[in-house]
Structure 1
Amino acid sequence: MTTEESNRGDEQRRRRHEEREACREERRREREARRQERKGRILHTRISEQLAEDIRRVAEDLRVPVSNLVRNVLDEAFSAVESVSDNVGDLVEDIVDEAERAQKRMRRRRRHRHAARHHRRPVSEEEATDLESMEPEEREDIEAEIREAEAEPTRERPEFPDVVGWQPLLLNREQTCADCGRELRRGTRAFVGLTAAGLSQKTLCRACVNSRG
């Protein structure tokens, strides 16, 4: 993931957060409007004699009219239900945000691991920024993986002298990266080699193409 893609992802998350806040505010306004509407209407219903007696007794104890007591109880009940509904929505949104952050962390781990195991190149500025932004425990794990990978025998990388450039595409069938050997599933964004004669049979994953930049 490039810095531009990362920034674009942050901007999208910021917009989603603002949209959610706007929706919450709209729900609050709707709840208040419903409360006002409820106060302005008369509701007739049939209840048992025992319930009517209980309501009258509680109203007398509180020294309030029966109608006020019933209205306040109903308002509180509806407010509680709406609050629970909003809290569930907020919880789902928090889970989605955390899943996105976890996915981003996994991508960063794969990028660092891939760079260390297959390319033996210095850590880029973007990767260094990633490391600095990680939690200490996560950063230590990745640094340990990098040290372990760097201790492995160096692999000779293919040069592909017949390839003029690499064309991005969305895979319609499974392929294998011609550089690192990683299996690329259908639907993965990858790159196919362009030669003077046209498309070649060589496909690279995004990490391998980025490492050649």
Structure 2
Amino acid sequence: MPSFTLPRTARITTTHKVATAVLVAAGATTALAVTAQPSTAQATASHASVAVKPVSANGMPAPVQVKSDAPKVAHPAIEAVAAQVKAQDAPKKAHTAKQAANRSTERKAVRKAEPKRYANNLDGWIRQSLDIMKAKGIPGTYEGLHRNIMRESSGNPNAVNDWDINAINGIPSKGLLQVIQPTFDRFHVAGTADNLTDPVANITAAANYAADRYGSIDNVNSAY
């Protein structure tokens, strides 16, 4: 058989075979590594698809609440009805407020119209007389009135002096501040009773007389 010699360039030595095998093996390993390692995007997508869903107390999937930042827009027809109702209620509210204001004014007027009440005793008589004296510009204090009343009558509105010169002359001193009838008639204060022994009328007439003669009932410390 004739001998046949391969060209120099076509000869594959053992060394070449080994090197080729190593390259092939290395390429396979690299390809395997690339195939086995997913990209970052793939990993993210994979994890995202396995998200845990919320579960309610009974073990069933909890309802998903969808939140929206979009503003709520009322229907034009609903807005029109609401505006109409508001317009209808406005006069009623105004009328109610006016009625309440009128009632408040009426109550205040009634309170102002009610006369001041005084106790039917010495303290009440003195206080009522002081209010009348203040309105009429007659000077005097609670202390001055009370002090002279206790000296003259001990607080008895029906006290009568039947022994002094006035009694002898037929015009005895009477009442809380022991006033004679002529003095009472002259210094009587309008708005009080015309009765000499009426407690308030007697006090205010005596205080009016004392103011005219002594400057004030407070300046009287003895028979006057």
TM-score between both structures, scaled by the size of structure 2: 0.27
Considering fraction of residues, name the structure with more helix. Answer: 1
Considering fraction of residues, name the structure with more strand. Answer: 1
TM-score between both structures, scaled by the size of structure 1: 0.29
